[in-house]
Amino acid sequence: MDMNSEANWQRPLFDDRLTPYIEIDAQRLEHNLQRMQKRANEAGVALRPHIKTHKSVWIARRQRELGAKGITVSKPSEGISFIRGGERDLLLAYPVVQAKSITELLRQAAYHCAKITLIADALHGVTAIAEAQRLQPDCELAVAIKVDVGLHRVGVNPDSDDALILAQALKKESLPFAGLVSHAGHAYGAGNLSAISVIAGQEAQLMQSLQHRLHEAGFNFCPVSVGSTPTALAAQVPPGIDEIRPGNYALLDLTACRLGLS
């Protein structure tokens, strides 16, 4: 190699990118983002994308530019990063257990004038949220109830009275009720688009039945928020749904290819 030639001096001698790193097809990313926003718009529902797959402030900003009504995060530390990155409407998707786990998130939200929606699936979660809210009373805060629609990881049994008990506990603690939240994560284990569509229908039916029972109990404001990329792409958003929270759709992966979603 002639190191004295101009061409060789201009060529980098090493790649300074840290590994591992991810390389993204910008056109495919834009296609994916617009595709999901279009589905939400056509169904007349809000899109609150989950950012756990891309963890990118830039991608979240683009999702918001296209029409997203907020973001979903998996843990408080993600929420803090995205609040600092400019997001002002966040839902923390995992049920709160201890007040100390969300105190810094609420502090940052109050400082940056961001709205936080938390979720609960047990009375101790409501107690923890109320304790954290008393420590940070100037944070705009609401609480949704997490419903188990088949994944059996977290959430209340939709056939029990647990949701009503939690809604009453929120009212007693003067915590604004934000409705019902679910995640049909078991759709990732479905074998094909038809099976995913069935799961989406079952999720909607369970959520709407529980919503009706809460309406009868006097909780008239009870929006329904559902999540998962497979159910959002394999089936039309069922009537009666107010919000969808897919996340994987931004980048998709081999699972999406296996399910025929890409």
CATH label of the domain that carries residue 251: 3.20.20.10
Count of the separate structural domains present in the chain: 1
- Report whether pLDDT(84) > 90: yes
Q: Higher-confidence residue: 254 or 138?
A: 138
Is residue 9 pLDDT above 90, yes or no? Answer: no
Residues 6+ apart with CB under 8 A from 227: 50, 72, 93, 181, 182, 183, 184, 244, 245, 246, 247
Q: What is the pLDDT of residue 43?
A: 97
Mean pLDDT taken over the chain = 93
**Tell me, what's the pLDDT at 3?**
45
113 falls within a domain:
yes
Give domain status of residue 15, yes or no. Answer: no
pLDDT for 121 equals 98
Please say whether the beta carbons of 207 and 147 come within 8 A.
yes
Range of the domain at 87: 25-255
Residue 55 domain-assigned?
Answer: yes
Q: Is residue 17 part of a domain?
A: no
Q: Which of 16-25, 58-67, 195-204 shows the lowest mean pLDDT across its residues?
A: 16-25
Q: What is the pLDDT of residue 5?
A: 46
Would you say residue 18 lies in a domain? no
Scan for tokens 């979903």, then name that residue: 72
Find the range with the poorest average confidence among 3-7, 34-38, 104-108, 160-164. Answer: 3-7
CA angle 210, 158, 131 (to 5 degrees): 90
pLDDT at 2 over 60: no
* Statement: residue 4 has pLDDT above 60: no
Q: Is residue 12 in some structural domain?
A: no
Q: For tokens 């996340």, what's the residue?
A: 247
Mean pLDDT of 105-123: 98
User: Residues 61-88: what's their mean pLDDT?
Assistant: 97
pTM of the model: 0.91
Q: What is the pLDDT of residue 14?
A: 57
Q: What pLDDT shows up at residue 261?
A: 83
- 20 belongs to a structural domain: no
pLDDT (0 to 100) of residue 12: 54
